[in-house]
Structure formats: structure tokens, C-alpha cells
Amino acid sequence: MTLSLTYAPSFPDRRNADDAPRFWLVANMLRRQVFPREPEQPLEASDMPKLFPGIVINGRAVEIAWDFQHHVHDTAGLEVYGVCETDAELAGTANVCINGPLLHNRPDIMLSTAAHELGHVVFDIPETLGGQAASYRHYRSAEAADNAFRNAAAVCFCEWRANEFMGALLAPALAVHRRLLHHARNERLAIVRTRSAGHPAWPVVSGDNDPDAVAGITEVLAQEFGVSPRFMSVRLDQYKLITRRNRTGGRS
């Protein structure tokens, strides 16, 4: 099966939280193609080369060469989590290298790094291969990965965009919403009706619940989707699946 994505290329060139759902949509489009019968199935890092060997993006075929076997360093010689790059001698190919030796005991970071680099393939590589930019290379460093889940101001636009794609690819809003409500009802947590990025007809979890209970469910969800609890906490916040208290004691 050939994976194919078509999206409006005129995405903005600055961070804007209101634009994040557009990147989530692209991730969900791709996810539905690789999991047509079980679109909510969790991913593993080892799945990535098999599921995403290449993508036709806005009519341009991009082959993806994956490497999880070697250490990865930036131009300063510092070890990093991963890199996405092109080579002028390999036309039509995006090279994605994940630092397997460094991350062998952190499967959650290995997975999120692979999904992050795939985001660069989807949004940044087609322009490079089309001759509209210089050869492309972008690293995911340990420091950037630590800040990337929540601190959009700490990263450039293309990194923020890759992070939002990563979040939706690994933990799609509808799937997270479904599992969250399943666990919340089992734990008899309070739920409320408000708008979210999940299913429009489903309630969300109230922020008035015991924080320890919410943290416990967040950790279970993280295990189910193969990500870290911090990663899942950010997705729940981004999707507005758990309400938050404001300073006057109400919910927001």
C-alpha cells in the first residue's frame, strides 16, 4: 500500500496554538492509512520502518531510509536523539536516523523521536526535494526533547509543528478520549460536559477530581500508548480532555 498525504502547503510560518489541530489532522490522515481497521492501535518504534517506508506528499514521492542502529551526532559532535536529513546524491530520499544505542532503554523517547522526525519528513522534506530549499538537516537533541512536549516558545516553528504531528500520531485525540473515559468511569471520577478535541458528544474529566487519581490514570494511558506520563499529560491538556481550575476556583 502506498501512503499518500495531501494538505494545503501554505501553512503558517510561526507558532500558533490555534493551528495545531491542522497538524493533528495530517497525522490522523496518515494513521488511518496504516491502521484502516484499528485506527486507535498504539505504535512502537520498531513499527516505523515497516509502516512508513515512504509517502507520496502533495504528489511528490518521498522514500524514507530508517536507521536505528548507530549513534547520532550533530555538527558539533554532540550526541543527539535523532536526525532527519537529505542527501543531494540520493534524490527523493529522506534519511531518518534514530540513536538506538543511546535510547535502547528508553523506548518511549525512541518512539517519540521517530514520530517527531517523521513529522519533518511530512512537512519539511517535500520543499527541500522540490529544490525550494538547501539540503535539509534537523536534529532532535536531548534538551529539545525535554522541553518540546509543552514549551512551544523554546523551539522554532518547524520543531513545534513536528512535535504537534508527533503527539497526534502517537496519541490521537479520539483514542485518548475513549480510553480516558473508560478508566475515569472505572475509578468513579467526576466528568463534565465541555468542548474538547476528542469526540464532540462525550464528556471530559473534571479537574476537581483527586490529583493523585488523575495522575494514576494519566500513567496508565501513557503505558497503553507507549509514551511517557509527561507526554500523555500534555496531550490531555492540548486536547482539553481534563478541565483545569482557574484562579477564582471555577473550571476552564
Exposed / middle / buried, residue 74 (Cβ in 10 Å: 0-12, 13-18, 19+) = middle
In this structure, the number of other CB atoms found within 10 A of the CB of residue 191 comes to 17
CA angle, corner 242, sides to 183 and 150, nearest 5? 115
Give the residue ranges of DSSP H helices in 130-210.
142-148, 157-170, 173-186
Helix axes 107-123, 20-34, angle to 10 degrees: 100
| 73: DSSP letter | B
Per-residue pLDDT of the chain (252 residues; tens, 9 = 90+): 789 999 986 666 666 777 899 999 999 999 999 999 887 889 999 999 999 999 999 999 999 999 999 999 988 899 999 999 988 777 789 999 999 999 999 999 999 999 999 999 999 887 766 555 445 666 676 544 444 444 444 468 888 999 999 999 999 999 999 999 999 999 999 999 999 999 999 999 999 999 999 999 999 999 999 999 999 999 999 999 999 864 334 454
